[in-house]
Amino acid sequence: MNRPDRPDARDTTDVQNGAVMPTDVRCLVETDEPSGLLRLSGVLDSAAAGAVRDALLLRLCERPGPVVVDLSRLRVADPAARRVFAEVRREIADWPAAGVLVLDPTETTAGDGLAVCSTLDEALAALARAPMPSATITELAPVVGAARQVRMLLTDRCARWGIGALAEAGCIAATEMVNNVVAHARTGMTVRLAPHGGTLHIGVRDRSRRQPAYRGFAPVDTAGGRGLLLLDTVAQRWGSTLLPDGKLVWAVLHPTPLPL
């Protein structure tokens, strides 16, 4: 077996249950379910950055609300690899009910939009002060009635959250996102809905790595192909994030009138 300290050693990783499990990799990601803490230990270099990114994104998919990433036991061998945390923050910026708080005693990750604490007590106190996100999560099978279930749930939650004006546009967006899973991914899906400052955030996670591709307006004489056009019309922003075992498609809707 190659050893990490040999010049010809190759780093390999397996991602299991939201954690990066070490083989020849010297960077380990461990999760603490009760506290929302995610600990990194060992050495972070460019070879491990991709696996760390995947583990963080999986964790953020599984748990709504902010996650504390503890770097106090981590040595960064490649300064460029440290950018993975800012990249993850940018990737999840529009996800429903998702956030990252970094515990970094060196504070070298400060900047680039990251919220950084220097001690564990400070990080846990910041986590405790953060309001619990108003998020709704539901698991659905890839069946024809899935979109109808989501529309009913979304309409109810928008009324509860005081953003009822977004229910119609939200139902259009969620319908297209869910139907895309039913028609193309054909896997089970997790739908997460959350309000944020008067906006509505929708996320649909499935187990296919086939990403949606919007190619603009469909010709008037073609059948179908308008699902992503509708999504692009009603959502201020939308996108797709690849995960090790699938993807998450997200959308953000603002309280603006629907186009005529």
**Is residue 187 domain-shared with residue 80, that is, in the same domain?**
no
Mean pLDDT (whole number) for 242-254:
96
Final residue before a domain boundary, out of 94, 129, 164? 129
Residue 124 predicted with pLDDT over 70: yes
Helix (H) or strand (E) holding 174: helix 167-180
| All residues at 6 or more sequence positions from 120 whose CB lies less than 8 Å from its CB, including other chains | 70, 72, 103
Contacts of 74 (CB under 8 A, 6+ apart): 27, 40, 41, 42, 43, 44
Res. 118: pLDDT tops 80: yes
* CATH (domain of 183): 3.30.565.10
- The token duo for 191 is 């739908």
Nearest to 38 by CA among 6, 80, 69: 69
245 shares a domain with 167: yes
- Cβ-based neighbour number of residue 197 at 10 Å: 6
pLDDT-based confidence at residue 13 (cuts at 50, 70, 90): very low
Q: Which of 83, 110, 129 is the last residue of a domain?
A: 129
Q: Are residues 142 and 231 in the same domain?
A: yes
Q: Which domain holds residue 157?
A: 136-253
Residue 238 belongs to some domain of the structure: yes
Q: Output the pLDDT for position 56.
A: 94
pLDDT at 258: 52
